[in-house]
């Protein structure tokens, strides 16, 4: 019986185009009969681990059916939310904002008093100028907080104000409402201002009413 006899399956050669044992399939041709396809020369090997997708940036809604919150974070918080700002940072930013708004007003009024000793009209004019500065700067800071999440003090300290649900900024109107809601923080012996010290979400009473949080961000952002 000849070596290539079709009745002798053990003597058959592998068909053309199909790799035998130890052979590689041609490039661009999927492997046959379960032989693994070898990577092209110079190409990095491919492993079977599933690729991990990065979490969405803060401000994006969680995917449908997935609970909100960072891995290991608090339930209900937005995916990818930065760390919450602690009370010390918030208090320091508040003091800096007050200093920026009030200190120039007193400085301007003091210049007027120094000019005429407080007996003439120059002092009154400077006092009015100082008051207008205080009002104008106060509304400017409120506008910046509503549109960007940061007053000057918050930007210097690297913190930002956002909506708790989706991480968006509040807008000027809601920022003004939140400012009025701070009245609730001062009513019960100012306990609302201290509430972030032990609150899980580090919120004041005004934050809870308006559903807002203050988070840490890049100071250069």
What residue spans define the domains of the chain?
Answer: 87-216
**Given this model, what pLDDT does residue 72 score?**
36
Strand, coil or helix: 215: strand
The residue to which tokens 């104008």 are assigned: 136
Q: How far is CA 36 from CA 13, 23, 40, 170, in A?
A: 21, 10, 12, 56
- Sequence-distant (6+) residues with CB within 8 A of 95 are 153
Q: How far is CA 100 from CA 3, 84, 142, 146, 216, in A?
A: 99, 25, 13, 18, 21
Tens of pLDDT, residues 94-141: 999 999 999 999 999 888 888 877 676 788 888 899 999 999 999 999
**Given this model, what pLDDT does residue 62 score?**
40
pLDDT at 15 over 60: no
Pick the residue with more confidence: 126 or 32? Answer: 126
Backbone torsions φ then ψ of 192, nearest 5 degrees: -65, -35
**Given this model, what pLDDT does residue 63 score?**
37
**Given this model, what pLDDT does residue 54 score?**
52
**Given this model, what pLDDT does residue 65 score?**
34
> What is the spatial distance between Cα 130 and Cα 107, in angstroms, rounded to a whole number?
8
Q: Where are the alpha helices (DSSP H) in the chain?
A: 87-116, 121-148, 152-157, 172-186, 191-194, 205-210
> What is the spatial distance between Cα 81 and Cα 31, in angstroms, rounded to a whole number?
45
Confidence of residue 78 (pLDDT cuts 50, 70, 90): low
- Here the tokens at position 118 are 């407080």
């Amino acid at each position: 019986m000849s070596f290539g006899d079709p009745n002798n399956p053990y003597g058959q050669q592998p068909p053309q185009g199909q790799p035998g044992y130890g052979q590689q399939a041609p490039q661009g041709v999927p492997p046959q009969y379960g032989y693994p396809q070898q990577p092209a020369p110079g190409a990095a090997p491919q492993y079977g681990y599933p690729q991990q997708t990065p979490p969405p940036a803060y401000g994006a809604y969680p995917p449908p059916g997935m609970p909100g919150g960072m891995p290991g974070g608090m339930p209900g918080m937005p995916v990818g939310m930065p760390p919450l700002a602690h009370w010390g940072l918030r208090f320091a930013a508040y003091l800096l904002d007050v200093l920026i708004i009030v200190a120039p007003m007193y400085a301007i009024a003091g210049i007027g008093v120094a000019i005429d000793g407080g007996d003439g009209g120059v002092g009154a004019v400077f006092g009015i100028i100082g008051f207008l500065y205080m009002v104008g700067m106060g509304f400017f800071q409120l506008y910046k907080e509503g549109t960007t999440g940061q007053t000057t003090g918050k930007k210097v300290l690297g913190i930002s104000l956002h909506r708790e649900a989706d991480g968006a900024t509040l807008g000027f109107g809601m920022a003004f409402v939140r400012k009025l809601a701070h009245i609730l923080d001062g009513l019960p012996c100012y306990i609302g201002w201290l509430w972030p010290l032990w609150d899980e979400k580090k919120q004041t009473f005004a934050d809870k009413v308006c559903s807002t949080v203050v988070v840490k961000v890049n100071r250069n952002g």
